[in-house]
Chains A and B, each alone.
Chain A
Amino acid sequence: MSEKEAKGVESEYLFGLVKEMYGDRLGPDELEEVRKGVERIVETSKELRAVKLGNWDEPFSVFRPYRKEE
């Protein structure tokens, strides 16, 4: 499967999910706009996925266990 086809499949699956969850509250024109929105999100994700990271490259956020001040 080409990258373009894979992208299309991913968009369709994700759009299908949105349609399943929220389709009853959206008109045909609105659904079409949502489809375009999902395609843009998949497009953006592909840009991120194209960058290779090392296993050690951590998210830029620090989790600290919480304990109430005593």
Chain B
Amino acid sequence: MFPVELAEIFLDRLERLGPRYNTVVTVTRERALREAREAEEEISSGRCRGPLHGIPYGVKDLIATSGGIPTTWGAAPFRDQTFEHDATVVNRLGEAGAVLSAKLAMIELAGGMGYRQPNASFTGPPRNPWNPERWTGGSSSGSGAAVAGGFVPFAIGSETWGSILSPANNCGVTGLRPTYGRVSRQGAMALCWTLDKLGPLCLTADDCGLVLEAIAGVDPKDPTTIERPFKYVAKPPEGEFRLAVLKGAAEGAEEGMGANFERALGVLERVASVEEIEFPGLPYEAITRTILSAEAASAFDEFTESGRAAELTAPEDHYGPYARTVVLAKDYLKALRLRALMAKAADEAMEPYDAVVAPTRRGVASPIDIEFRKVSPGMTSDVMGAVGNGAGLPAISVPNGFDEDGLPTGIQFMGRAYDENVILAIARTYQSLTDWHQRHPQDLTP
């Protein structure tokens, strides 16, 4: 199939089905067809740029795009915001020949105001392609849903704490959170400078590897990017993989999540050793939570002072930014000092292993109209997320089954810093032994 025909198919799905699920903010039809025509001409003349050439994709709507295409940050006060430039990640995908087809829905301001229920986007509550009465996860809601629904072949999301893995889990797709600094954040909305990462959501680990290869790399416009070139090579080890299960990581998981996690471990034991480990005793969640609160307070200081939080969609986001304005500087600095211990402790604990494995979340997609804490009281603990995001470690979530209501569940593999190829190889091997990633919502299958 040629790029223009391919683009037309996905543009049609984005325009026809996207609104049903509140998945899309803007379909970039004109730009997509222009890029598709350019790709078609190049490919026809024998110049193929690589595996993404002519492939449509969408980006979370916190990633800047030029040409008058709005970049809304998912929030009503910014619904008419435009930029003169494309974000580095969009430029890199353009260089790879990919076709920008949509700006995808997201939780307003990437969830940075403390939302507690799904109706927290000016585009409406993001509905799950597996069941529109359920939530997609967030804050990269549209990025997860658009891939699950077959509205785009791949999407770019962002994660500060959980925002790629959560929609990957809820929507039954593969989501990769790269190592901090692997992908330039230039042109992306800042929520927390030392926690924000951009990464792909795709159907398979292989696709995530290919997309990461296209978007990774040092960028003079983002001083946090690292001088470590990334080439996707999902080569399994000579022997078996070495996996560690974090003690207690599956405790309190919903029945379907827990059962599917155990079954997945059974599959993995065919290709891996599995041992239980514990991270040394540190207040991991307090460390990352404090960094997040303090940096978000600063990043949105002018917005908070302006009082425009009252214009946000979720009622709890109207007052959400105020409490954290009183995080003390000494506590933020203490968190940054403890982060150093956390990073070393996590790396030491993980050194003998290829990855730490856990259920991606404790539960499946929650109902669209209920507060999270009412659905899953006491299920807020997330040591994997605190360590992974606080220490900037890569993780990938892949689908590992469905619960009794037909909702997808996910399993995550978290690696040591810069070990994306290792966790991609594990995820790829798992997907070669299972077919969960090949299942799609029946209502949306052509």
Chain A residues at the B interface, C-beta cutoff of 8 Å: 14-15, 17-18, 21-22, 25-26, 30-31, 33-34, 36-38, 40-41, 44-45, 47-51, 53, 57-61
| Interface of B (DSSP majority class) | helix
B443 to chain A minimum Cβ distance, whole angstroms, is 38
Q: Is B322's CB under 8 angstroms from A44's CB?
A: no
In whole angstroms, how far apart are the Cα atoms of A37 and B326 in the complex? 10
Q: List 8 A-B contacts (CB under 8 A).
A: A14-B326, A15-B326, A17-B326, A26-B319, A26-B322, A41-B326, A44-B286, A48-B290
> Is B406 positioned at the interface, with any CB of A under 8 Å from its CB?
no
Q: How far is the CB of B116 from chain A (nearest CB, A)?
A: 10
By a CB distance below 8 angstroms, the chain A residues around B287 are: 48
Bound Cα distance from A53 to B318, whole angstroms = 37
A-side binding surface: helix, strand, loop or mixed? helix
The A/B interface has a contact count, at CB < 8 Å, of 84
| Additional A-B contact list (5), CB under 8 Å, known A48-B283, A51-B283, A53-B341 | A18-B322, A38-B326, A45-B290, A53-B338, A57-B341
Binary interface profile of B, 316-350, with partner A (CB < 8 Å = 1, else 0)?
A: 10111011111110010111111111010000000
CB closest chain-B residue, reference A14: B326
- Establish whether residues A18 and B323, one from each chain, have CB atoms under 8 Å apart when the complex forms: yes
What is the bound-complex CA distance between A36 and B327, given in angstroms? 14
A50 to B286, CA, bound (A): 11
Q: Are A59 and B340 interface neighbours, CB within 8 A? A: yes
B37 within 8 A of A: no
Within 8 Å of chain A (Cβ to Cβ): is B293?
yes
Contact-residue bracket for chain B? 20 to 34
Given known A38-B326, A61-B336, contact A44–B290 (CB-CB < 8 A): yes
By Cβ-Cβ distance, the 4 closest A-B pairs, closest first, are A37-B323, A59-B336, A47-B286, A60-B340
Question: Of the candidates A21, A30, A41, A47, which one forms a contact with B324 in the assembled complex, judged by CB atoms under 8 Å apart?
Answer: A41
Contact B307 A25 (CB under 8 A): yes
Cα–Cα distance between A35 and B227 once the two chains are bound (Å): 44
B194 at the interface (CB under 8 A from A): yes
**Cβ of A61: which chain B residues have Cβ within 8 Å of it?**
194, 336
A36 to B293, CA, bound (A): 15
Asked if A53 meets B322 with Cβ closer than 8 Å, knowing A33-B316, A44-B286, A48-B331, the reply is no
| Binary CB contact string for chain B from 280 to 295 against chain A (1 if under 8 A, 0 otherwise) | 0011001101100100
Query: Could you say which residues of chain A place their CB within 8 Å of the CB of B310?
Result: 25
Q: Are B326 and A18 in contact (CB under 8 A)?
A: yes
> Which residue on A lies nearest to B114, using beta carbons?
A37
Q: Which residues of A contact B316 (CB under 8 A)?
A: 33
Known contacts A41-B293, A51-B282: A22-B340 contact under CB 8 Å: no
Contacts of A14 in B (CB 8 A): 326
Chain A residues with Cβ under 8 A from B322's Cβ?
18, 22, 26, 34, 37
B340:A57 contact, CB within 8 angstroms: yes
Q: Is the CB of B319 within 8 A of A33?
A: yes
Known: A18-B322, A26-B322, A34-B323. A45 touches B331 (CB 8 A): yes
Q: Is the CB of B337 within 8 A of A18?
A: no
